[in-house]
Amino acid sequence: MLYDSQIPQKVVTKIQEALDPRATFGISGGEKIKSIDGYQKIVSWLLQKTATSKDRLIVLGGGSLIDLGGFVASTYHRGMKLELIPSTLLAMVDASIGGKNGINIDGIKNVVGTIYQPSAIFICPGLLDSFSKEELLYSVPEMVKHALLDSESHFHAIEEHFKKGNWTDLIERSARFKSALVHNTSEKRDLLNLGHTIGHAIEGVLGPSCSHGSAVFAGLLGEIGLGVHLGLTNPEVLKRLEKLPLYSIFPDLRSISFDELFEKMVRDKKSINGKVGVVFIKDIGSPIGVRFVDRSALEYAWGVCQMRSVQMRSVNGYQNRS
Ligand SMILES: NC(=O)c1ccc[n+]([C@@H]2O[C@H](COP(=O)([O-])OP(=O)(O)OC[C@H]3O[C@@H](n4cnc5c(N)ncnc54)[C@H](O)[C@@H]3O)[C@@H](O)[C@H]2O)c1
């Protein structure tokens, strides 16, 4: 069992007692571990424990350790059984589902990886107790994206969550939604890029100081705003999105110029002949799919993001996190 050593030891011990693995290896998670060095460490440990392709690797950790552990499991002796116990909210609703894994090389994210399905995923919401409410918010934009694509009742449940605060049902709903989508046609899978055309570009420009969730939230607002502008999306969707109390995680976009952002978007795999692919929805639960839009449309979407950035910064209690 490979586990993230940032998880409180008493929690790890409990899981260890329940699963009784032949060997355990604790390693500090986070993005840096998704490297050749991290890969080498785990393979060396497996060799030292004389693990074979008949063994199973259990990975208890966040998205970073799951991406690395999944890659090791898919390649060690040409593949060993893999089971996942995601320990962050993002890993529970997103990273553990779909079988994608990978490591970063020369600063390029997930440049080497495979698609390799785990034989089981165990989701225990109690593992989130070590995070503050604020820390958990950074994973919510991916859950919002799932709800926007899924249904009115799913989105309503997210809105209600901020009043009641129970994660368990929402995690199950979000995880099941992603699971159904990734096992669908590639056209359906592409819907998961909602908010990510602008989101990835923001992340690319701001670098590691900007969390993925913050960038995706800004991307969702910009892309839904563009949908409204083009007459494709019901304006109510944007209004409801703006009302979600996620202003504290909104990124500070002041240092970004549209030219550098556009450059990132055009270089992205979703662009053809200078036009960039954006996922649009008609309404909550009614996705349209990918449409290719030109520079001026994206500049409009960027204007929406910037306007929200100013509004969000003026909200009482906002702290600059970028
Ligand atoms: N494969 C996919 O489909 C997919 C999807 C989304 C994201 N990802 C990847 O997931 C990674 C981000 O994952 P993440 O957001 O889960 O962060 P993470 O795994 O990097 O973990 C964030 C921090 O929390 C710590 N941690 C983990 N679990 C903990 C716990 N229970 N208690 C206390 N600390 C804990 C980690 O050690 C780390 O310091 C990125 O590399 C991203 O590319 C992959």
Percent of the residues in the chain that have a pLDDT greater than 70, as a whole number: 96
Q: What local confidence, expressed as pLDDT, does residue 130 receive?
A: 94
Q: Is the predicted pLDDT of residue 192 greater than 60, yes or no?
A: yes
pTM score, whole prediction: 0.93
**190 neighbors 290 (Cβ within 8 angstroms):** yes
Of 1-10, 117-126, 199-208, 294-303, the one with minimum mean pLDDT is 199-208
Average pLDDT over residues 293-307: 95
Taken in order of first residue, the domains within the chain and their CATH numbers are 2-129 (3.40.50.1970), 132-314 (1.20.1090.10)
Mutate to test the pocket of ligand 1, among 39, 72, 88 (most ligand atoms within 8 A of CB): 88
Q: How far is the CA of 106 from the centre of ligand 1 (A)?
A: 20
Distance CA 33, CA 47 (A): 19
Name the residue at shortest CA distance from atom 5 of ligand 1. 95
Pocket, ligand 1, Cβ cutoff 6 A:
4, 6-7, 28-31, 34, 61-65, 67, 87-88, 90-91, 94-95, 98, 100-101, 127, 130
Q: What pLDDT shows up at residue 315? A: 62
Centroid of ligand 1 to alpha carbon of 139 (angstroms): 10
Residue identifier of the C-alpha nearest atom 9 of ligand 1:
63
Q: Distance from the CA of 75 to the center of ligand 1, in angstroms? A: 21
Give the model's pLDDT for residue 209.
Answer: 86
Rounded to the nearest whole angstrom, what is the distance from the C-alpha of residue 95 to the centroid of ligand 1?
8
- For residue 65, how far is its CA from the centre of ligand 1 (angstroms)? 7
Atom nearest to 142 CA in ligand 1: 6
Q: Tell whether the model's pLDDT for residue 233 goes beyond 90.
A: yes
Residue 229 has pLDDT above 50, yes or no: yes
Compute how many other C-beta atoms are within 10 angstroms of the C-beta atom of residue 238: 20
Say if CB 110 and CB 104 are below 8 A apart. Answer: yes
Q: Determine the residue type at 315.
A: V
Number of C-beta neighbours around residue 320 at 10 A: 9
Q: Sorting pLDDT into bands at 50, 70 and 90, what band is 109?
A: confident
Q: What is the pLDDT of residues 144-191, one digit of tens each?
A: 999 999 999 999 999 998 877 778 899 999 999 999 999 888 889 999
The closest residue, in CA terms, to atom 6 on ligand 1 is 95
Bigger pLDDT: 204 or 78?
78
Closest CA to 143 of 174, 109, 102, 189: 174
Tell the residue number behind the tokens 């950790």, with chain if given: 61
Nearest CA among 130, 112, 111 for reference residue 60? 130
Pocket residue to mutate for ligand 1, from 27, 35, 90, most atoms within 8 A of Cβ: 90
**What atom in ligand 1 is closest to the CA of residue 11?**
31
Q: Detail the DSSP E strand segments found in the chain.
A: 2-4, 25-27, 56-61, 81-86, 103-105, 108-112, 120-121, 271-272, 275-283, 286-293
What band does 196 get if pLDDT is binned at 50, 70 and 90?
Answer: very high
Contact residues for 306 (Cβ-Cβ < 8 A; gap 6+): 253
Q: What is the pLDDT of residue 316?
A: 42
Nearest residue (CA) to ligand 1, atom 13: 63
Q: How many CB atoms lie within 10 A of CB 26?
A: 16
Highest mean pLDDT among 67-71, 106-110, 248-252: 67-71
**Residue 123 CA to ligand 1 centre (angstroms):** 14
**Please, which pLDDT band fits residue 107 given cuts at 50, 70 and 90?**
confident
* pLDDT attached to residue 320: 45
- Rounded mean pLDDT of the chain? 93
Q: What is the mean pLDDT of residues 214-225?
A: 97
How much is the pLDDT for 58? 98
